[in-house]
Every structure is written in structure tokens, then in C-alpha cells.
């Protein structure tokens, strides 16, 4: 049953390699559709053990709803991370409080709903954890991500065999710095939020896989997933316009990382770009929750 609360023990067998897929910011109905059609096929063909997806733009481009949360799990996603739009849809708060496969940024207020990490036990046995951080440069106020992850890691390492970190941030420098800060302490640090995939995937010197941004899962004939015309009108006039979700050139962007569950070090990282042609009649549906007026942000 999707989202069922489970208590995990670390896997007994840790002498194995796991392939973990990290999917970039999933935007609206078009992003959800390609995941629903293509993810399970990719998982089977490439022997993926765990799928992590950033879902903070899944509901009409901003936030996530309980319906979408449950559907993403059915599509094959195992862990969902969020970002600056984590609480955009109020109805998700109950899910954040009750489920441990969806996380909001760890370094938000300690009084925020939900938790800053998620946990998933793979079919092979090892347990994968993902910590969710948010940046502070060009972003809304947040607590120190370095202090937050330092405080979490000792307890998360006791629960998990492998730890990934989603660094949801605007500034590339802030993401790169976090990668080096956590090198050798986690299996992978991957960036989200900017919706534009970077070409700097690498294994850092102490064994942590890293990429500055995994890109966007959604319509790429767009401005970060939104319709080109409405964004241009807003930029040229300085007036507010509704940033409608685009519908064409739908892709999944992400990375596949191979990690040794015994050493906890990454052995391989590879970018994923999966394109499919779909005819979208509408970029919205009832799963998005209540529509927002003049939603002029990304």
C-alpha cells in the first residue's frame, strides 16, 4: 500500500552494489505523465534498486498533493524530496507528518511539518536514505545547511546503509561547496531547483558522486517548464502573468549512480536523458489541487 508507515532495520547484506536513479524536478502533469509511462520500464531494463525524485513542482508547477504523492509511488518512485515549494499545497502537510518516504528541506525551521530525510529499504536488503537540504543564496531564509546535515548524519547513518543528499539551491557555488563538504561522508550529493542539467557529474576524491543539477523532468520547450509566451510577457513588461505549464518536448532528466553498499562509496555516475513524444491535451488535471491565481514563480 503506497505510503504505508514502516520501521526499517539496516540490511544484513551490505556486500553488494546498488544502482540508484535520481530524477530532477518533476514539473506538472507533463512531467508526471512521462514518469508514469516510462519509469517502470527503465527500472526493469537497467536493474534500478531505488528511485529518488524531487517532486516540489509536481502539482501544477508548484507543490505536491497527496494524490500525486501516492501516484508517484505507484509509478516506481521510492523516495520523494521537496524544496522551497514544499508547503505550497496545504493538503500535503498530513502526508509529510505521517510518511517517511517524503521529505521537506531539513534546514527549515525545526517546527516545520514533516522531516528532512526519507528512508527506503531496497529489495536487495540495504536501506537507502536521502537527506533534503535547501540553499540560502537567492533563496528564502533558512537555517544553516551545514549544521543541519552535521547534526543529522550520525543518526541517519545508523538507520541507512547508503545516504544521498538532495541540495535544492539556486547558486551553483553553494551546491559545489556542499558536495566537497560531504565528500566521503555520503554516497552522492545531487543538486536540484534550477531545472537545467549540468555537465559536471563526477566522483569526488573521497568517493562521493556529485552533480550540480540533475535537471528537469517535464516539458523542455519552455522556460523551466513554463510557457514561453507568458514568461516573456512578464519579463518584458514587469507585470504579473500566470506562468502556465508548457506541454511539449517532454523529457526525464536525472542521474544513475552505482554505490557499493559495503564501502558506501560511489563507483559510477551517469547522466540520464529520456525523451518521449506525447500529445498533451492539457497541462493540468484534478490531481494538482486548487489552481493558483497568477502563479508567477518557478
Per residue in 145-187, pLDDT tens? Answer: 999 999 999 999 999 999 999 999 999 999 999 999 999 999 9
Predicted confidence (pLDDT) per residue in 221-235, tens digit: 999 999 999 999 999
User: Could you give the residue numbers annotated as active site?
Assistant: 85
Q: Identify the band that residue 76 occupies on the pLDDT scale cut at 50, 70 and 90.
A: very high
Domain boundaries, the chain: 17-277
Q: Predicted confidence band at 292 (pLDDT cuts at 50, 70, 90)?
A: low
Can you give the pLDDT at residue 10?
57
Tell me, what's the pLDDT at 295? Answer: 46
Mean pLDDT of the chain: 91
Q: Convert the pLDDT of each residue in 277-287 to its tens digit.
A: 766 667 767 77
Claim: this prediction has a pTM higher than 0.85 = yes
pLDDT of residue 283: 72
**CATH class in words for 17-277:** alpha beta
- Kindly write down the DSSP assignment for every residue of the chain, as one continuous string: -TT--------S--SSEEEEEEE-EE-HHHHHHHHHHHHHHHHHHHT--EEEEE-TTTTTTS---HHHHHHHHHHT--EEE--TTTTSSGGGHHHHHH-SSEE--TTS-TTSSS-SEEEEE-TTS-EEEEEEEE--TTS-----HHHHHHHHHHHHHHH-SEEEEEEE-S-HHHHHHHHHHTTTTSSEEEEESS----S--EE-TTS-EEES---EEEE-SSBTTB-HHHHHHHHHH------PBP-SSEEEEEEEEEEETTT--EEEEEEEEEEE----S-S--GGG-SPPTT----
Over 50: is that where the pLDDT of 50 sits? yes
pLDDT at residue number 266: 98
pLDDT band at 249 (very low <50, low <70, confident <90, very high): very high
What's the pLDDT score for residue 276? 80
Please give the pLDDT value at position 66. 97
Per-residue model confidence (pLDDT) at position 279: 65
Average pLDDT over residues 133-148: 97
With 90 as the cut, is the pLDDT of residue 81 above it? yes
- Does position 7 have pLDDT exceeding 70, yes or no? no
Amino acid at each position: 500500500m503506497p505510503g504505508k508507515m514502516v520501521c526499517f532495520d539496516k540490511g544484513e547484506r551490505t556486500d553488494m552494489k546498488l544502482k540508484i536513479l535520481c530524477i530532477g524536478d518533476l514539473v506538472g502533469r507533463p512531467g508526471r505523465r512521462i514518469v508514469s509511462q516510462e519509469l517502470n520500464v527503465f527500472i526493469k531494463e537497467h536493474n534500478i534498486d531505488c528511485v529518488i525524485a524531487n517532486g516540489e513542482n509536481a502539482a501544477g508547477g508548484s507543490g505536491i498533493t497527496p494524490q500525486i504523492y501516492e501516484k508517484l509511488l505507484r509509478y516506481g518512485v521510492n523516495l520523494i524530496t521537496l524544496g522551497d515549494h514544499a508547503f505550497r499545497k496545504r493538503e500535503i502537510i498530513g502526508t509529510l507528518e505521517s510518511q517517511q518516504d517524503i521529505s521537506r528541506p531539513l534546514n527549515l525551521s525545526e517546527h516545520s511539518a514533516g522531516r528532512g530525510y526519507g528512508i527506503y529499504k531496497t529489495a536487495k536488503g540495504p536501506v537507502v536514505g536521502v537527506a533534503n537540504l535547501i540553499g540560502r543564496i537567492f533563496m528564502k531564509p533558512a537555517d544553516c545547511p551545514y549544521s543541519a546535515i552535521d547534526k543529522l548524519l550520525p543518526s541517519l547513518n545508523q538507520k541507512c546503509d547508503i545516504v544521498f543528499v538532495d541540495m535544492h539551491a539556486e547558486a551553483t557555488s553553494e551546491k559545489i561547496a556542499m558536495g566537497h563538504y560531504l565528500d566521503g561522508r555520503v554516497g552522492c550529493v545531487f543538486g536540484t531547483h534550477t531545472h537545467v542539467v549540468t555537465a559536471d557529474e563526477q566522483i569526488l576524491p573521497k568517493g562521493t558522486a556529485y552533480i550540480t543539477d540533475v535537471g528537469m523532468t517535464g516539458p523542455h520547450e519552455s522556460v523551466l517548464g513554463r510557457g514561453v509566451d507568458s514568461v516573456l510577457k512578464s519579463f518584458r513588461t514587469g507585470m504579473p502573468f500566470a506562468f502556465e505549464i508548457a506541454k511539449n518536448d517532454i523529457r526525464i532528466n536525472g542521474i544513475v549512480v552505482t554505490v557499493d553498499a559495503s564501502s558506501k562509496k560511489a563507483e559510477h555516475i551517469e547522466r540520464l536523458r529520456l525523451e518521449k513524444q506525447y500529445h498533451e491535451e492539457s497541462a493540468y488535471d484534478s490531481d494538482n489541487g486548487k489552481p493558483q491565481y497568477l502563479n508567477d514563480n518557478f
